[in-house]
Amino acid sequence: MLKYILNRLFHSVIVMFVISFIVFFIMFKAGDPVQLLLPPDATQQDVIEMRHALGIDQSFIKQYEAFLKNVAKGNLGNSFVYGQPALDVVFERLPATLELSVLAMIFSIIFGVPLGIIASIKPKAWYSKAIMFLSLSGISVPVFWTGMVLVLIFSVLLGWLPSSGRGEVYLFTSAFTWDGIKHLIMPVLTLSFFQLALILRLTRTGMMEVMMQDYIKLATAKGVPRRVVVYYHALKNSLIPLITVIGIQFGQLVAFTIVTETIFAWPGTGKLIIDSIQNLDRPIVVAYLLVISFIFVAINFIVDILYTFVDPRVRV
């Protein structure tokens, strides 16, 4: 077990190293942030000073070397734009993003799994077909379009829900205040619509495949009631692969907060990364990507551990 964990950790460090190098290189090639940072009437002297202050007047190798040395000290450099340590800037906004992603994932699972089961039991029934058509629309609608339609209906037309911001935050989330909840509803719905449809469809396919297995028929032949066969024997088998999907899809959710946060002016990392890429704020972009890939690695890891608990066939 320990060997496995160390192995995984080593692998992840390599991947993150590669990613940091690629991003660093691309951002180096992409251009000079100083043009964007200084006012248009800045003198040549200002430019030179600023480039020196940011450390970007050096060669690529030197810069990357400095970056690695800093990383060893747990420092990813200061943001060109905010002047603060890049990690701090990212961490400050991370809770808002994770809040959206986690809530959206919970919502998708709570509705996606049961609907998927219902649609699998009698695939020819009208309600199964209705669920399947809705889920097809779910995977066909771009996230930004869902968000727009919700805003149009609930903010512009009905005026029920606020269309931007995070509302009142208590502790680390807005889910504990009424005002916060009102701000959360639309972003979470927007983010979960696609996921819900996807989880629904995968649950359904999984259930239908499992229901054809011999052991399901044998359970019935043993006289186990249909209810137990479906909701225990079959479900237990089809939920296990779903764990992997949920792990992978959580990454997608985090990525798509970029769109959701743009629409709802949500103060998370999604908006930050878009702005930072456009400002060529390299430390922020690198920090963001490293943090995100760390989250992905962590989730993958959790999924693997979970597997060893829920799937008796897997032992590490």
Partner 1 sequence: MKFFKNELVVEFFEDKLAVGGLIIFIFLCILALFPSLFSYQNPYDLTQLFLENSFQPPNHTFWLGTDEQGRDIYSAMVYGLRISLYVGLASTVLSVVIGYTLGLISGYYGGWVDTIIMRIADIQLSFPAILIALIIMALWGEGIGKIVIAITIVNWVYYARTARGVVLSEKEKDYSQSAKALGMSNLGIIFGEILPNTTAPIIVIATVRIANAIILEATLSFLGLGVPITEPSLGSLIANGYQVLFSGYWWASVFPGVLLMVLIISINLIGDRMRDIMNPRLKR
Partner 2 sequence: MALLEVKNLKTHFFTRNGVVKSVDGSSFSIEKGEILGIVGESGAGKSITGFSILGLIDSPGRIVEGEINFDGKDLIKLSENELQKIRGDEISMIFQDPQTSLNPVITIGEQMMEAILYHKKGVSKKAAYEACVEILKTVGLPAARKRMKSYPHQLSGGMKQRVVIAMALLNNPKLLIADEPTTALDVTIQAQILYLMKKLSQEFHSALILITHDIAVVSQLCDKIAVMYAGRIVEYGSKEDIIFNPLHPYTKGLIECLPKLNDEKKRLYQIPGIMPSLLGLPQGCYFKNRCEFSDDECDTYPLQQEINGRIVFCHKVK
Interacting residues with partner 2 (CB under 8 A): 213-226, 228, 233, 236-237, 240, 310-313
Nearer to partner 2 (CB atom), residue 62 or residue 236: 236
Query: At its nearest, how many Å lie between partner 1 and the CB of residue 239?
Result: 18
- Count the Cβ atoms, other than its own, within 10 Å of residue 135: 22
| Residue 38 CB-density burial (10 A; 0-12 exposed, 13-18 middle, 19+ buried) | middle
What does each C-alpha distance from 258 to 8, 94, 233, 269 come to in angstroms? 28, 12, 39, 7
Q: Which two tokens stand for residue 290?
A: 């490293």
Radius of gyration for the chain, computed over Cα atoms and rounded to the nearest angstrom: 24
Is residue 278 involved in binding partner 1 (CB under 8 A)?
A: yes
- Pick the binder of partner 1 from 89, 150, 198, 254 (CB under 8 A): 254
Q: List the single partner that 139 binds among partner 1, partner 2, none, CB under 5 to 8 Å by kind.
A: partner 1
- Pick the binder of partner 1 from 75, 205, 244, 308 (CB under 8 A): 205
**14-43: which residues touch partner 1 (CB under 8 A)?**
15, 18-19, 23, 26-27, 30
Q: What is the DSSP letter of 173?
A: B
List the one residue out of 286, 290, 296 whose CA is nearest residue 253: 296
Nearer to partner 1 (CB atom), residue 177 or residue 244: 244
Euclidean distance between CA atoms 123 and 113, whole angstroms:
15
Query: Which of left, alpha, beta for 292 (phi over 0: left; psi -120 to 50: alpha)?
Result: alpha
Q: 């009424």: which residue's tokens?
A: 178
Is residue 142 involved in binding partner 1 (CB under 8 A)?
A: yes
- Pick the binder of partner 1 from 42, 118, 208, 245 (CB under 8 A): 208
Residues lying near partner 1 in the complex (CB under 8 A)? 15, 18-19, 23, 26-27, 30, 123-124, 133, 136-137, 139-145, 148-149, 151-152, 156, 163, 205, 208-209, 212, 251-252, 254-256, 258-259, 262, 274, 277-278, 285, 289, 292-293, 296-297, 300
